[in-house]
Structure formats: structure tokens, C-alpha cells
Amino acid sequence: MDKIRVIKGSLGCFTFGWLALVPILGIPAALRAMALYRRVQNEMDEAHLDRIRLGTAAGHKAIPNQSLRPWNPAEKYRVLGLVLAWCGLFVSFLAIGGLVVLMLRVMGGANLADRIKS
């Protein structure tokens, strides 16, 4: 596990999470934030497995708190980036739905709905 890569990935997730809040245009940024979140999580899990392997190989030298994952000082930014990405996707899908409804009304969809009710 490269700590610098983990921290940069966490901060990148946070940055792309903020960019994801731009309606519709932020969808690629949201997907990128989610991919960075998963990549950092996988790297942290791999480091956790390496710690367990080291602990069992040493035999006489137990590693304290083997069940804990390695420390990531930017963990809060990574989690917040994922939350912002999900919020951005939600806002984008609401905007797309609003645009679809607006387009249907402009193109005469409202008249079609009135005809169906009659």
C-alpha cells in the first residue's frame, strides 16, 4: 500500500464528489468519484491482508489490532466524496426527469394527457 496514492485517491474522490453536484454535467464526475472510492478501498483491503499475512508469518511477533484497517488520514474526505457523488447523481436524475416532463409539455404531451382523461 502506497500511503501517498491512498491519500491522493481520497482527496480526488472528494474533489470529483463536489464536481458531481453540477446537474447533468456532473454525472461523469460522480462515476469517477465512485471509482476512486472503490480503488482506495481495495488498496486498503489489500494492505489489511498483507498485515495479516505478516502477522501469521512472524509467529512470535504478533501485530496489534490486526482486525483494524490501515490508517488513512483522508478517510473522511473519501467518504464525503462518495456521499457528494450520490447526491450529485440524485440531483442530476431529478434534473433529467424535470427536463423530460418539460419537453413533453412543450411538445404537446399535456394535450395528450388531457385527451386520455376525457
Checking if the pLDDT of 43 tops 50, the result is yes
pTM attached to this predicted model: 0.74
Look over the chain and give the mean of its residue pLDDT values, rounded to a whole number: 83
Distance between CA atoms of 96 and 27, rounded to whole angstroms?
11
Give the range with max mean pLDDT: 9-23, 48-62, 64-78, 95-109: 9-23
Least confident of 12-16, 49-53, 73-77, 99-103: 49-53
Q: Say how far residue 22 (Cα) sits from the centre of its chain.
A: 15
DSSP H helices, the chain, are: 3-19, 27-58, 75-106, 109-117
Q: Is the pLDDT of residue 72 over 50?
A: yes
Amino acid at 73: P
Task: Spell out the domain ranges in the chain.
Answer: 3-89
